[in-house]
Amino acid sequence: MISKNRLTPSGWAIIVLGAATLALGGCGRKGPLDLPPTANAAPAAAPGDTERERAAQPSVFNPTYGSDAAPAASKGNKRSFVLDPLLGN
């Protein structure tokens, strides 16, 4: 007797892609970045710091830093891209 429940190539592709998605989705750790072994621990913020002083410090996590500064470069010419018709640009 022949089983009719065999997976087709497209069924195997879905299983493999699903397993790859789950495996790659679990890569990495949640939390802050690890410091290099040679780096010293950053000093904690002084209790006298005000919001204005903290806003003036450059940081990856400070979205307001440099927002009042002039742009570093002028806007260039628009170049065409392959997906522009699809994106509506």
Q: What is the pLDDT of residue 20?
A: 92
Q: What is the pLDDT of residue 46?
A: 53
Q: What is the pLDDT of residue 16?
A: 96
Alpha carbon distance 11, 15 (integer Å): 6
What pTM, to 2 d.p., does this model score? 0.29
Give CA separation, 71 vs 2, 41, 52, 75, in Å. 70, 33, 22, 9
The 10s digit of each residue's pLDDT in 60-78 is 777 666 667 676 777 788 8
Alpha carbon distance 83, 26 (integer Å): 31
The 10s digit of each residue's pLDDT in 1-15 is 566 778 888 999 999
Structure tokens at 83: 């997906």
Segment 13-28 shows an average pLDDT of 87
